[in-house]
Structure 1
Amino acid sequence: MAMTAMTKTEAAAADFVLSPGARVGIVAGGGSLPVEVAQGLAAHGYPPFILLMEGEADRRQELLRYEHGSLALEQIGSLVATLKRHGITHVILAGEIRRRPRLTDIRLSLGLLAIVPSVIMALARGDDGLLKVVTRGLEKRGIKVVGAHEVVPELAAGEGTLTAAKPKQSDWRDIEAARLAAKAIGALDIGQAAIAIGGRAIALEGIEGTSGLLERARALRGHGRLAGKTRGVLVKCAKPGQELRADLPSIGPQTVEAAHAAGLAGIAVEAGRSLILEGPATLSRANALGLFIVGLPAGEPAHG
């Protein structure tokens, strides 16, 4: 079943959106996503230009093999000029940016001055508000922003059960409860994930991210209200109205390990709107630990 689900996703490569003359840049934050996007682009015949975000990109050795440059968050005003200097026509925002630029240290330019009020408002609104401002700002200046899942479609989660283990009927109740909770906090731009055990949401993702959420769930196993309850599910899904070209929900081998440590039975993500990083390793580890991974049809209720 895993092979069938992955093949559906890989078949989307036929819809590759880049024209032959495209020059793709990757604004690279932390984690494995920038590396996998770069490898996928190169395999498709589009060797990328990597713009490493200083203090954020942590897979430098794997990224430095491509043409590259670097930029501090406080130099964001020169982002467009830097990309245009290297002939970039399309850009992908990939990887984690853990801190926010200090507004007092931002080096202003005439172009940036025009959008500073929007940036300040976006910082107040949260992650997705800021991503939308950055995306619109780039596109107004002639650089098309594309999502990792659009140009490297094999990274997107396929639909259906992707592992040997399958959800039980009780797991589907947990999936639906966690999905509803994740959508609710997503609408407030708080997080993208929730955990349900015994048919009810017991933990929601906050600023600490999915790893912190799973650590809290692990600690909650000793809570009186969860005594004797087993299994449970982590659900990650895009926020309602989310800018899908950046910050899509993602899971990887570490997510699987942490879910297992928290005593969960599996993980559910939205098919086509979530990324499975280090896909073969992630599915292999889930199979070894007996966890299921399910790709849910986007926008539809979970069901058994």
Structure 2
Amino acid sequence: MSATALIAGTGALPRLLAGVISGDWVLCEMEGFPSSVPGIEPVRFRVERLVPFLDGLVDRGIGRVIFAGAMRRPRLDPELFDARTATLVPRLLQAMQSGDDATLREVIAIFEDWDLEVVGADQIDPDLVPGPGVLTGNPTNADAADADRAAAIVAALGSVDIGQGAVVAQGLCLAVEALPGTDAMLEFAALHQGLRPNPDGARGVVFKAPKPGQDRRIDLPSIGPETVKRAAAAGLAGIAWEAGGVLLLDRAATLAEAEARGLFLWAR
């Protein structure tokens, strides 16, 4: 069996996967984006030196790659490109102009050019992706209607490769996810709680889902204890998501947080 490379960004997911990867594996980090995986010296790389990094993975006997955790687009230094990596720049720049999903698809394609199999986090730990059902709490009919509305908004956002989340209360969209991410979306919703037309009506729902047609091996949306805390701070009734399409991180802690704050968790 070939070895695995865990290309880790920030957040809880790399640490969770590090505990369940079978066989030989190495930790890799893009410079400037340290992971949360403790006690392991990573192989660090820069995009400007991507080809030597890929060659190094192959030389190490790596055959499988997992991308996990958050990474922002790095600032590239033209002077650091080696000649072979420079030939990939037109591919990457063209993809980056189309959005995050197009960029990540091109990244996957480049890794596959080196015969590296890219696998999703859910293939390593299927329990990270819950199937349909209410995990805790009791969404009302009004919550279900808000979740339906939010799902339609997320599908529209995803079709133009913008975001994977939306906050809806009483049928009105309070916030959508864009480049700053889920935390920023929920902070915005928290600042604008007064926009609900009926203060005593439905409190609202945050909904998350992959983009339509997204390659689900990379950049699946995620939910964790911090999401619950921020949803509660925004005055929302709960969190809903597309069943089978969202990573539930630290499941026990996330459920405990939701129960303590009176929020529902619903895989739709």
TM-score tier by shorter-chain length is over 0.9
Q: How many residues align?
A: 268
Whole-angstrom distance in 1 between the partners of 2:144 and 2:118? 36
TM-score by length of 2: 0.94
Identity %: 37
Matches within 5 A, 1:111-190: 112-163=85-136, 165-190=137-162
- Give me the CA root mean square deviation: 1.8
The secondary structure found in structure 2 opposite 1:222 is: helix
TM-score by length of 1: 0.83
Whole-angstrom distance in 1 between the partners of 2:196 and 2:138? 28
The secondary structure found in structure 2 opposite 1:89 is: strand
Please report how far the alpha carbon of residue 226 of structure 1 lies from its aligned counterpart in structure 2 after TM superposition.
6.1
Q: Does 1:75 align with 2:49?
A: yes
Whole-angstrom distance in 1 between the partners of 2:210 and 2:79? 32
Are 1:50 and 1:68, in contact at CA under 8 Å, matched by a contact in 2?
Answer: yes
The secondary structure found in structure 2 opposite 1:162 is: strand
| Matched AA of 2:148 | E
Please report how far the alpha carbon of residue 227 of structure 1 lies from its aligned counterpart in structure 2 after TM superposition.
4.6
What are the superposed Cα offsets for residues 22-66 of structure 1, whole Å, 9 maximum, x if unpaired? 31111111111111111121xxx3242101222112415x2x33x
Q: Does 1:215 align with 2:197?
A: no
Are 1:77 and 1:107, in contact at CA under 8 Å, matched by a contact in 2?
Answer: no
Whole-angstrom distance in 2 between the partners of 1:74 and 1:228? 54
Decide whether aligned partners of structure 1 residues 90 and 131 sit closer, same or farther in structure 2, where only a CA change above 3 A counts: same
Question: What stretches of structure 1 of length at least 5 have no aligned partner?
Answer: 1-20, 297-304
Whole-angstrom distance in 2 between the partners of 1:103 and 1:126? 21
Whole-angstrom distance in 1 between the partners of 2:94 and 2:178? 20
Are 1:145 and 1:245, in contact at CA under 8 Å, matched by a contact in 2?
Answer: yes
Please report how far the alpha carbon of residue 74 of structure 1 lies from its aligned counterpart in structure 2 after TM superposition.
3.1
Which position in structure 1 is the counterpart of 2:82?
108
Decide whether aligned partners of structure 1 residues 194 and 106 sit closer, same or farther in structure 2, where only a CA change above 3 A counts: farther
